Amino acid sequence: MNSNGFYLIHKALNWVDAWGNMNPDDIDALIESLTKNKKELETVTLVLAKMYAKKTKKTTTEILNLMKELQEAHGLSYLFISHDLAVVHHLVDRVAVLYLGRLVELAPRTDLFDRPSHPYTQALLDSVPRIGVRRRRHRAIAGEMPSPLAPPPGCVFHPRCPKAQAVCRVEVPPLAPAPGRPAQLAACHFKD
């Protein structure tokens, strides 16, 4: 990374540290100055995405809202990796779900959150508490997670999957559309 790259990262880190103490006019001026240079904007938003977890919840929300604004205003794309499903729901348009490093589901955000197709995605979403919605009975995913260094043959989720059958133990399921949902892909022999 050149010295300009270090400068941009330094600037972004200072911005994140100062964010909680800035007034709205200063924030607007900073955003305006950043948007003049798309490369600088991309670098800063990348650093903000990495830093969001280290801040208070209030600051995290402000940073994520700013990232969403910048994304919409400037057509930015993010590859956002997170275990926080609320953040994923807020920030992304398409969601990829991985298990043991393998893609098990890929779908538009609303499709995936409204009607998950892969059993692992269903289990993830069932574990998220919801306010104002009658809580589904939480079912922990059965069994121990296999080693990523020695994944099981066939479908990597089969040792823990409630739908697993003999074919799952030997055949890797293809990433294919869910029934009636061509934009929602899932790697499961028995997808919903």
Q: How confident is the model at residue 175 (pLDDT cuts 50, 70, 90)?
A: very high
Residues 30 and 106 in one domain: no
Q: What is the pLDDT of residue 65?
A: 79
Q: Give me the pLDDT at residue 83, please.
A: 79
Taking only the tens place, the pLDDT of each residue in 112-135 is 999 999 999 999 988 877 666 665
Q: Give per-residue pLDDT as tens, 11-53.
A: 554 555 555 555 555 555 655 665 566 555 555 555 555 555 5
Residue 192 placed within a domain: no
**Listed residues 31, 56, 86: the one ending a domain:** 86
Higher pLDDT, 43 or 80: 80
In a shared domain, residues 125 and 150: yes
Cα(149)–Cα(85) distance, rounded to whole angstroms? 26
Residue that terminates a domain, selected from 86, 117, 138: 86
Task: Give residue 63's domain range.
Answer: 3-86
**Is residue 113 domain-shared with residue 39, that is, in the same domain?**
no
Both 53 and 114 in one domain: the answer is no
> Are 65 and 105 in the same domain?
no
Residue 158 lies in a domain: yes
pLDDT of residue 182: 94
Query: Which residue, of 67, 86, 105, is where some domain finishes?
Result: 86
Predicted pLDDT of residue 139? 65
Tell me if the pTM is above 0.85.
no
Indicate the range of 40-49, 95-104, 162-171, 178-187 predicted with least confidence. 40-49
End-to-end CA distance of the chain: 46
- Number of neighbouring beta carbons within 10 Å of residue 130: 9
Instruction: Note whether residue 48 is domain-resident.
Output: yes
What tokens does 26 get?
Answer: 């200063």
Alpha carbon 162 to its chain's center: 24
167 in any annotated domain: yes
Q: Is the dihedral of CA 139, 144, 150, 153 positive or negative?
A: negative
- The verdict on 33 and 118 lying in the same domain is no
Domain count, the chain: 2
